[in-house]
Every structure is written in C-alpha cells, then in structure tokens.
Amino acid sequence: MYKFFSAEHSIFSAKVRAYLRFKHDQGDLGAGFEDILATPDLMSNLLTVRSGSPSLPQMEAPDGTWVQDTSDIIDYVETVHRHMPIVPDGETRPKQRLASYILELLGDEWLLVPACWERWHYSLATTEPNHRAFNEQQWGSFLAPDENGKARRAAGAAFFENIFGISDTRDNPKGPYQGLIHLGCTDATLPAWLDMQQRLLQALEHHLEVHDYILGGRPSLGDYALLGPIYVHFYRDPVAGFDLRRAFPLVCEWVDRTNAEGCMNARRFGQKLYSVGDGEGLLTVPFEIGGAAARRMVVPTQIWMLQRLGAAMATANQAELADWLKQFSRGEEILTLDEMMADCRIDKQGGRLLSMPQR
Ligand SMILES: N[C@@H](CCC(=O)N[C@@H](CS)C(=O)NCC(=O)O)C(=O)O
C-alpha cells in the first residue's frame, strides 16, 4: 500500500487525496493507499527526516520510495499506474495537456492566495461573519489529535496566538498573515485577488452547466489542482463555504464529485444510475432460443397465462396427456406446472396484475 501523509485542512493534501481515490476506484492503484494524519510529530520526525521538508502532503510508495510535492507524487503514480491516466496525451490531446498544466499552476500558486485570505481574514477577532472557532478546531484536531474536543480546540487557539500572533497581526504579521504579504496580497491588491476568485468560480459554474469535469466526462490534473483550494478553503471553511453554497451550487456538486466522498447525488465518475424501465433496472430471467442463451424481461402476464394453462390441464385426462407429452423433450414437466409455480402466482383484477401470497 501507499502511505499518504496528509491533513484535511491542507490544500495540497486534498489535491492528491482525491486523485488517489480516483485511481483506486478505477482499480489503478495496486493495493491502494492508507491516508495517515500527518501530525506535528510525524512532520518533524518522519517527513522532514525523509525529504528535508515538513510540507504536506508526502507519500511513501510500497517499495519505500519517498515522494514529496504533489506534482511529483502525481507524476510518480502516473508512471507506475498507467491504466487510467489523468494527464492528457501530448500527441493526441496537446491542447488539453497544456490546459491541464496551466490549471495546475493556477490552482497551486495563484488560487492559493484568495484561499488563504478567506481562511485567515474571517478568523480575525474583528471580522464578521467569523469562523475562528471552526478554524481553531480544525487546526487543533491536527495539532493534538489524541486530546478531547475541548483540548483540541484549545490547542488550535494557542497555536494561533503563540505561533501566528493572531491578536497582533496588523502590527506584527506572522504565519499565514505574513505569508499573504509575501504572496502579494496587500490592501492594494486584495480587491483584484478576490475579483479573480469570483470570476474563476463564475466561469467554472458556467462550464459545469454542461460538463462534469474540467475536460469533459472524466477527471484530469486540472480538476485535482483546482479542487485543492476550492474544496479546502472555498467549500470547507465556513464563511467562504456559505457563499459558495449559495452562489455556486454546481461548483459544490463538482467538489463532491471530484473529492469522491459524500457524493451520492453528484454523478461521481463511473457511478451507475438505475431507473425502473431501462435495461439495467429490469427484472429479467434467463432463456434460450435456437441455442442462443440470453435474458428477457419478466412479464407478469406470462405467469398469469401459465396459471390459466395449468388450471385448464388440471381438469383434463392426466393419463392421456402424459402419454402424449412423452414425445416432447421434458414435455411431461408441463403437468407439474401448478407445483412449479406455487411460490409465484398472479391475481388478475381487471387490468391489474398482483402477486399473490405464496401457497
Ligand atoms: N508545492 C508543494 C506545496 C505544499 C505546501 O505548501 N503544503 C502546505 C500545506 S497545504 C504546507 O505544508 N505548508 C507548510 C510548510 O511548507 O511548511 C506541493 O505541491 O506539495
């Protein structure tokens, strides 16, 4: 099995986790993967030791190969498991291939900015609406997963205060608040970043009116790269998540579909849809004609007609019938019709055929 070290609130973890689920669902990931919560202990004492970086996610292949960076992880898995590729072929699909890599860059390096802003702006004490409590809880459950709920929340709150200086961020930005400045998100540029976010979501919503995924009917690299920030921040973080659910329902459905979890209503890739009356949903019985074996639909009228025939036989001369039926292969079985149909009887009431209690 692959060992995948990740966290739920991490953009890059979501990108690869959804991809691994897809590969596994398609039978294209060998023995599959174990999704392991990358606690601070694992980050310092395993991930950093193996790769030189604590960043999430990271992965260990079944043969012990260690891979860090989502692009490298996807490239690695695509090289080993080729049955269901997610990067379009360069020879036959060059435009889709280019679009995929551009979208990966967009998701990883640009959408990251408004995503990060949404989470941390609405965690400031002065901002309304506010999702600080949720954010403390999601961080706490990764920082102190062994603790009870209250202690997990406290761990998140302490981390925000001590490491990110959340109460003092205007004067002394640290952690994600400093990160946003380094990423080019300042008072001057913020409106443009948020405008970019809105335009992208609008374009995606429009696209999803007719397509299930970025490149049509099946997921590809661009879906997973966009899913990272869109799922983890715009969908999962509460304030942005409320807006996304109100204004972009198709994007929400795509998140469920691409994330491949909680997606019963979301047309997950390969999901079988049944309906009464079509070939898949019909009740069928095996039959044979001219040596060809097949199945055909169960027709209650046929049962009722056999019953009728059985009833007519019951009042006929049995010995004479048996003698006559001998010349046909398995011909005499027809005399046991009533017995054969004991648990399958139909009551015809006008135009309605009803199944009758078993005798
Ligand atoms: N290019 C990297 C980016 C990974 C990354 O930035 N991960 C975030 C979490 S979503 C992280 O671990 N940041 C903290 C750090 O790098 O120390 C990848 O694709 O894996």
pLDDT tens-digit series, residues 105-120? 999 999 999 999 999 9
Cα–Cα distances (Å) from 264 to 182, 237, 268, 322, in that order, read: 40, 22, 7, 56
Q: Do 217 and 96 lie in a common domain?
A: yes
Range(s) of the domain holding residue 292: 284-356
123 lines ligand 1 (CB under 6 A): no
3-state secondary structure of 183: coil
Ligand 1 centroid–CA 22 distance in Å is 22
Q: Do 180 and 328 lie in a common domain?
A: no
Nearest protein Cα to ligand 1, atom 20: 69
Q: Do 109 and 194 lie in a common domain?
A: yes
Ligand 1 centroid–CA 142 distance in Å is 15
Q: Do 196 and 79 lie in a common domain?
A: no
Q: Could you tell me the CATH number of the domain that includes residue 6?
A: 3.40.30.10
Q: Do 266 and 199 lie in a common domain?
A: yes
11 lines ligand 1 (CB under 6 A): yes
Q: Do 94 and 237 lie in a common domain?
A: yes
Q: Which residue has the tokens 């640290």?
A: 174
Q: Do 204 and 256 lie in a common domain?
A: yes
Question: Does any domain span residue 246?
Answer: yes
122 lines ligand 1 (CB under 6 A): no
* Runs of H (alpha helix) within 26-146: 40-42, 48-51, 70-80, 94-105, 112-121, 132-143
Q: Do 259 and 233 lie in a common domain?
A: yes
Question: Does any domain span residue 130?
Answer: no
Give the chain's end-to-end CA distance (angstroms, integer): 54
Q: Do 99 and 246 lie in a common domain?
A: yes
Q: What is the pLDDT of residue 342?
A: 86
Please, which residues have CB within 8 angstroms of residue 347's CB and are 6 or more apart in sequence? 353, 354, 355, 356
Q: Which of 240, 271, 302 is a domain's end point?
A: 271
Residue 58 alpha carbon, nearest atom of ligand 1: 20
Cα–Cα distances (Å) from 176 to 117, 182, 185, 353, in that order, read: 8, 9, 11, 69
Q: Which of 38, 59, 85 is a domain's end point?
A: 85
Question: How many separate domains does the chain show?
Answer: 3
Copy the structure tokens of residue 336. 């046991």
Taking phi over 0 as left and psi of -120 to 50 as alpha, with beta for the rest, 269 belongs to beta
Ligand 1 centroid–CA 56 distance in Å is 5
Contacts 24+ apart (CB under 8 A), 42-47: 42/5, 46/5, 47/5
Cα atoms in the Cβ-side hemisphere of radius 13 Å centred on 275? 2
Q: Do 195 and 318 lie in a common domain?
A: no
Nearest protein Cα to ligand 1, atom 2: 69
Cα–Cα distances (Å) from 260 to 77, 194, 211, 223, 323, in that order, read: 18, 27, 17, 12, 64
Q: Which of 271, 304, 327 is a domain's end point?
A: 271
Question: Does any domain span residue 38?
Answer: yes
Ligand 1 centroid–CA 275 distance in Å is 44
Question: Does any domain span residue 279?
Answer: no
What is the rounded distance in angstroms from the CA atom of residue 179 to the CA atom of residue 167?
16
Residues of the chain with pLDDT under 70: 277-280, 358-359
- CA–centroid distance for 140 within its chain: 26
Question: Does any domain span residue 174?
Answer: yes
Nearest protein Cα to ligand 1, atom 11: 55
Q: Could you tell me the CATH number of the domain that includes residue 191?
A: 1.20.1050.10
Q: What is the pLDDT of residue 67?
A: 98
Question: Does any domain span residue 64?
Answer: yes
Question: Which residue from 55, 76, 113, 227 has its CB within 8 A of the most atoms of ligand 1, so it is best to mutate?
Answer: 55
Copy the structure tokens of residue 235. 């969908």
Q: Going by DSSP bridges, is the β-strand pair 2-6/33-37 parallel, antiparallel, or unpaired?
A: parallel
12 lines ligand 1 (CB under 6 A): yes
Say what angle helices 112-121 and 238-247 make with each other, to 10 degrees: 120
Ligand 1 centroid–CA 194 distance in Å is 22
70 lines ligand 1 (CB under 6 A): yes
Q: Do 199 and 118 lie in a common domain?
A: yes
Q: Do 239 and 95 lie in a common domain?
A: yes
Nearest protein Cα to ligand 1, atom 16: 55
Question: Does any domain span residue 133?
Answer: no
Question: Does any domain span residue 237?
Answer: yes
φ and ψ at residue 202, rounded to 5 degrees: -65, -45
Q: Is the dihedral of CA 152, 155, 156, 157 positive or negative?
A: positive
Burial letters 38-56, b for 16+ CB under 10 A, else e = bbeebbeebbeeebeebeb
